[in-house]
Amino acid sequence: MPTNAPEPQPASEVSDKGAAAVRFRGVHKAFGDNVVLRDLDLNVEPGERVVIIGPSGSGKTTILRVLMTLERPDGGTITVGGRHLYHEEGRDGSLRPAGEKHIRSVRSDIGMVFQHFNLFPHMSALENIMLAPVQVHGKSKSEARALGLELLEKVGLAEHANHTPGELSGGQKQRVAIARSLATDPAVMLFDEVTSALDPELVGEVLSVLRDIAEEGSTTMLLVTHEMGFAREVADRVLMFDQGQILEDGTPEEILRNPQEQRTKDFLGAVFEH
Amino acid sequence: MTAAPPSTSISEAPAGGRHRRWYRDPGRLVPVLLVLLGFAVLASVEAPRGRFRTDVIAGRDEAFSFEFAVSIIAPLGRGLYTTARATVLAFTITLVLGLVLALLRRSGSRLVRWPAAFVIEFIRSTPILVQFIFFQQLVRAIDGVSLGAVQILILVLGVHYATYASEAYRAGIDSVPKGQWEAAIALNLSPLTTWTRIVIPQAVPNVLPTLGNYLVAALKDAPIAGPVLGVPGILFAATAIRGDTFRQVEPFLLAGAGFLLVSLPAAWLVRRLEARVAYERT
Amino acid sequence: MEDLILSEGQYRQLLVGLRVTLSVLGWSFLLGVVLSLSVGVMRLSSNRVVRGVALVYVEFARGISSIILLFIMAYAIPILFGFQQGSRLLLASLALGLNMGGYGAEIVRGSILAVPKGQTEASIALNLTPFQRLRFVVLPQALRIILPPFGNLTIEILKGTALVSLIALTDLMQVVSIIRQQQLANQVSDVTGLFVNVLMIYFVIAQVINGVFRLAERALDRRFSSRPGDLPTLGGPATAAAGAGG
């Protein structure tokens, strides 16, 4: 994997057919003096399921947040499905910062599920799910309702359609949040420590929904998680992330069973001890 | 609460000021001192007398005459001074009566608490203009009592804002954690000591910005007394000029500008105080 | 306290004034709400110019005395802009509405800032437009925080409406002055009856405003709990999970 590409890549290379689902090139991000992404390069293939592990504060969540446009990178380029996320291409292949409209159009390929659910408390579970299909995708209310009920059924919450988030348990909330994100039919789904805020006994129900999505196989998934057993079971690839950089990159077997780097060993030791 | 460690002099303020008493914190002391200074000056010095110049006459078809505007600055300034002075005097009533009302409102007896609550709510939710006129008529109707317009303004304005201040005091007192009261009981402090050494020192910093806001609000209500009671304040001056010269653009615009000249810095001081308190709370 | 009850004719006069008071209140409230929402949002704009304009307006509206603003509106503005026939009632409502907008904008701004950041992030993740985020996600939640202080603000505007009597509008207060003149002409010395009556009218309106805002708060709160009947056809009886909150 190339490690020396801080400058924007020529557009021709990026718009190749069969482009990566997600591609980071020299992405840099710092909060003050704290560098959280250090010239990051990363390719994720369509349909690939990538689990990102690493100590807290290592910047792994920032990868997802930058991809979701919740944080702007300080430098580098990101493409989604072959299209630049933060840049627009001129005719001569040069890149200039993208406007809101362009970002919105690329962003429609991405969905995200949050650690703290971020459900809208003033809407019922069903209304949470229906919002984007109606407002963003122009579906009719009845179509959106049918879709919402179908998704609620899928996550096992059909009978909670009318309940508001305040009336649901943490695991139920997170399942609604997953359904809400599925309703926008994203090609790439980001899962940011989606089980960390849950009581231990509720983790299983959420993981089983994630497993279902993974089994369908068409959605590209990027997951930040501390659930190593789940990572081993679901992931095609595991990234060990530390100090703003990818420390190790390999199959779950390679990284979790047989880590090469000392810092990975320390991290896994701490996690499994726990 | 402990005093500042001896190594920290007051002049090198910011760091480590968390545990200093609020009056040793320049960020709060300066606004309070400025307000007190303004208080003292306004309370002790009366506006100079004198009529405005009538020799500057603006052209009839001029919508706004700059020359004329300049010529009326002096009387408007005097009026503004009178308005500010009355506000400040009224606010001394507000500060004291507000505390009394707050304590009545917290009384253990319902016979005290409920009427106090009603009076506060009643005065708060009815127009001060009506209260001005009511009080003026009342005073006129009673034999042997004679109050000047300014005195009526001071009394009514002071009482009106005392009802607001009482709620601020109440919130301030309620903001002192229950544990503080319990600790005072555990130490067997007398009620007086509890109030003066434990509760009030902790409540005051939280109440100050709110009281400051009400002082600014009272200043904004004070000009009403001009046209209603005949207090020679800023609006009265403007109306008088209008009556004398038949020009109404300059006096009212200038009155507005002059008023902002006083109220904006005052509001700015209050906001600094507010930010300071919010910062200390975090 | 002999005559707390006024004559029927006097009540009829008061009713005429009340109508003017209420229409001034209505217009200024309407303008105040529109200004509060738009300027409150503008205060949070990413555009510096927009933010600056909003800030200047807020400082002006909150800094100026409403009575002076009223006099400027009634006497200076018509001459400066050359419309001598302007409706006094609308000019007065404009003054009070401008005043209310300044305070309201700061309330709106504070409430928007109080909505958790995750809510905006989730709506970005759903690809809503900035306007949709505001309209469907942020404002409905901010409204809960906005309502109580807005109730108080509306009562302040109600109190402010009495000022319009000073620019020769026959509102409630002006009618009171007229009745008082009649009383003085008839050598009625008791002023308490008349003023207790009019103060009570203001007090009652204020309590009604309070009540309306309380009801609105409660209606909003109901949106945060489940809504039976919204979904008639579900697979099974939708009764489960009543105690599932954790």
Nearest CA in chain B to C71: B252
Rounded CA-CA distance A5/A21 in Å is 19
Element (H, E) at A135: helix A125-135
pLDDT at C1: 45
Is position B123 within any domain? Answer: yes
b or e along C48-86 (b: 16 or more beta carbons within 10 Å of the residue's beta carbon)?
eeeeeebeebbbbbbbbbbbbbbbbbbbbbbeeeeeeee
User: Does B134 contact C63 at a Cβ distance shorter than 8 Å?
Assistant: no
Is position C238 within any domain? Answer: no
Query: Which of B121, B125, B141 is nearest residue C189 as measured by Cβ atoms?
Result: B141
Residue-wise pLDDT tens digits, B191-234: 888 888 888 888 887 888 889 889 999 999 999 988 888 888 88
- In the 8-state DSSP scheme, what is residue A166? G
Is position B4 within any domain? Answer: no
Q: How far is CA B268 from CA B164, B204, C99, C105, C110, in A?
A: 20, 19, 18, 17, 18
Is position C246 within any domain? Answer: no
Is position C241 within any domain? Answer: no
Highest mean pLDDT among B54-68, B193-207, C20-34, C222-236: C20-34
Nearest CA in chain B to C198: B130
User: Does A159 contact C228 at a Cβ distance shorter than 8 Å?
Assistant: no
Residue C110's SS3 state is helix
pLDDT at C212: 96
User: Does B248 contact C60 at a Cβ distance shorter than 8 Å?
Assistant: no
pLDDT score of B10 more than 50:
no
Chain A to chain C, count of Cβ pairs less than 8 Å apart? Answer: 118
Q: What is the mean pLDDT of residues C231-235?
A: 41
pLDDT score of B8 more than 60:
no
Bigger pLDDT: A183 vs C88: A183
In the sheet with A188-192, reading across from the earlier edge strand, the strands are A110-113, A188-192, A220-224, A49-53, A237-242, A245-250
How many distinct structural domains can be found in chain B? 1
Instruction: Report which residue type is found at B267.
Output: A
Residue-wise pLDDT tens digits, C177-188: 888 888 888 887
Largest CA distance in chain B: 78
CB contact at 8 A, A100 and C102: no
User: Does B256 contact C155 at a Cβ distance shorter than 8 Å?
Assistant: no
Counting as contact any 3 or more CB pairs under 8 A, the partners of B are C
Chain A and chain C touch, per 3+ beta carbon pairs within 8 A: yes
Nearest CA in chain A to C117: A118
Rounded CA-CA distance A194/B173 in Å is 43
Question: Tokens representing A92?
Answer: 């001569």
Rounded CA-CA distance B27/B275 in Å is 9
SS3 track for C148-173: HHHHHHHHHHHHHHHHHHHHCCCCHH
pLDDT at A93: 80
Bigger pLDDT: B13 vs C29: C29
pLDDT at A3: 43
Q: Tell me which chain C residues have a C-beta less than 8 angstroms from the C-beta of B220.
A: 64-67
What average pLDDT is seen over chain B?
Answer: 80
CB contact at 8 A, C237 and C179: no
Question: Tokens representing B174?
Answer: 């309620």
Bigger pLDDT: B276 vs C10: C10
Is position C237 within any domain? Answer: no
Instruction: Report which residue type is found at C163.
Output: L
Q: Residues of B near C (CB-CB distance < 8 A)? A: 63-64, 121-122, 125-131, 133-134, 137-138, 141, 219-224, 227-228, 234-235, 238-239, 242, 248-249, 252-253, 255-256, 259-260, 263-264, 267
pLDDT score of C40 more than 90:
yes
Residue A134's SS3 state is helix
CA atoms within 13 A on the CB side of B112: 10
What average pLDDT is seen over chain C?
Answer: 86
Distance from CA of A262 to the nearest CA of C (A): 36
Q: How far is CA C24 from CA B178, C91, C93, C170, in A?
A: 45, 10, 5, 11
CB contact at 8 A, A24 and A84: no
C236 close contact with A: CB closer than 8 A: yes
Distance from CA of C41 to the nearest CA of A (A): 19
> Which stretches within chain C are classed as H helix?
8-42, 48-63, 66-71, 77-81, 88-114, 117-125, 130-132, 139-161, 172-185, 192-222
> Pairing relation of β-strands A220-224 and A188-192?
parallel
Q: Got the DSSP string for A210-273? A: HHHHHHH--SEEEEE-S-HHHHHHH-SEEEEEETTEEEEEE-HIIIIIS--SHHHHHHHHHHHH
Chain B and chain A touch, per 3+ beta carbon pairs within 8 A: no
Is position C65 within any domain? Answer: yes
Query: Which of B127, B138, B224 is nearest residue C191 as measured by Cβ atoms?
Result: B138
How many distinct structural domains can be found in chain C? 1
CB contact at 8 A, C43 and C55: yes
Domain that holds residue C221: 9-226
pLDDT at A90: 82
Mutate: best of C115, C127, C147, partner A, most A CBs <10 A: C127
pLDDT at A134: 94
Virtual torsion, Cα A182, A184, A185, A187, nearest 10 deg: -100
Is position B187 within any domain? Answer: yes
pLDDT at B137: 87
Please choose, from the candidates C126, C79, B273, the residue with its C-alpha nearest in 3D space to the C-alpha of residue A134.
C126
pLDDT at C190: 78
Is position B192 within any domain? Answer: yes
Q: What is the mean pLDDT of residues B122-149?
A: 88
How buried is residue B274: exposed, middle or buried, by Cβ count under 10 Å (0-12/13-18/19+)?
middle
Is position C236 within any domain? Answer: no
Please choose, from the candidates A50, A63, A64, the residue with its C-alpha nearest in 3D space to the C-alpha of residue A20.
A50
User: Does C238 contact A162 at a Cβ distance shorter than 8 Å?
Assistant: yes
Rounded CA-CA distance B135/B121 in Å is 18
When mean pLDDT is compared across A70-74, B141-145, B196-200, C35-39, the lowest value belongs to B141-145
Distance from CA of C151 to the nearest CA of A (A): 21
Straight-line distance from the first to the last Cα atom of chain B, in angstroms, rounded to the nearest whole number: 16
Residue C136's SS3 state is helix
pLDDT at C241: 37
User: Does C67 contact B235 at a Cβ distance shorter than 8 Å?
Assistant: yes
Neighbours of B207 (CB within 10 A): 22
SS3 track for chain B: CCCCCCCCCCCCCCCCHHHCCHHHCHHHHHHHHHHHHHHHHHHHCCCCCCCCCCCCCCCCCCCCCHHHHHHCHHHHHHHHHHHHHHHHHHHHHHHHHHHHHHHHHCCCCHHHHHHHHHHHHHHHCCCHHHHHHHHHHHHHHCCCCCCCHHHHHHHHHHHHHHHHHHHHHHHHHHCCCHHHHHHHHHCCCCHHHHHHHHHHHHHHHHHHHHHHHHHHHHHHHHHHHHHHHCCCCHHHHHHHHHHHHCCCHHHHHHHHHHHHHHHHHHHHHHHHHHHHHHHHHC
Question: What predicted TM-score, i.e. pTM, was given to this entire model?
Answer: 0.81
Is position B190 within any domain? Answer: yes
Distance from CA of B65 to the nearest CA of C (A): 11
Please choose, from the candidates A127, A27, A115, the residue with its C-alpha nearest in 3D space to the C-alpha of residue C230.
A127
- In the 8-state DSSP scheme, what is residue A167? G
Q: What is the mean pLDDT of residues C129-135?
A: 93
Residue-wise pLDDT tens digits, C66-82: 999 998 888 888 888 87
Q: What is the pLDDT along chain A (274 residues), one digit of tens a residue?
A: 444 444 444 444 444 445 789 999 999 999 988 899 999 999 999 999 999 999 887 889 999 999 999 999 999 999 999 899 999 888 888 888 888 899 999 999 999 999 999 999 999 999 999 999 999 999 999 999 999 999 999 999 999 999 999 999 999 999 999 999 999 999 999 999 999 889 988 999 999 999 999 988 789 999 999 888 888 988 999 999 998 899 999 999 999 888 999 999 999 888 876 5
CB contact at 8 A, B83 and B234: yes
Nearest CA in chain A to C137: A120
Q: Residues of C near B (CB-CB distance < 8 A)? A: 59-60, 62-69, 71-72, 75-76, 79-80, 82, 155, 158-163, 165-166, 173, 176-177, 180, 189-192, 195, 198-199, 202-203, 206-207
Q: Which of residues 198-227 of C touch A (CB under 8 A)?
A: 220, 223-227
Chain B and chain C touch, per 3+ beta carbon pairs within 8 A: yes
Instruction: Name the band, by pLDDT with cuts 50, 70 and 90, for residue B73.
Output: confident
Is position B17 within any domain? Answer: no
- In the 8-state DSSP scheme, what is residue A165? G
Residue-wise pLDDT tens digits, C102-118: 999 999 999 999 999 99
Q: How far is CA A90 from CA A10, A127, B22, in A?
A: 11, 40, 60
Q: Which of residues 110-139 of C touch A (CB under 8 A)?
A: 116, 118-119, 121-130, 132, 136-137
User: Does A162 contact C118 at a Cβ distance shorter than 8 Å?
Assistant: no
Q: Tell me which chain A residues have a C-beta less than 8 angstroms from the C-beta of C220.
A: 122
Instruction: Write the CATH number for C197.
Output: 1.10.3720.10
Distance from CA of A118 to the nearest CA of C (A): 5
CB contact at 8 A, A127 and C223: no
Instruction: Write the CATH number for B222.
Output: 1.10.3720.10
Domain that holds residue B28: 24-40+64-281
pLDDT at C239: 37
pLDDT score of C174 more than 80:
yes
pLDDT score of B12 more than 50:
no
Please choose, from the candidates C206, C233, C197, the residue with its C-alpha nearest in 3D space to the C-alpha of residue C152.
C206
Q: What is the mean pLDDT of residues C206-222?
A: 93
pLDDT score of B13 more than 50:
no
Distance from CA of C164 to the nearest CA of A (A): 40
Q: What is the mean pLDDT of residues C145-163?
A: 93
Rounded CA-CA distance C13/C87 in Å is 22
Sequence-ordered list of residues with C-beta below 8 angstroms from that of A273, at least 6 positions apart, any chain: none
pLDDT at A59: 84
User: Does A132 contact C140 at a Cβ distance shorter than 8 Å?
Assistant: no
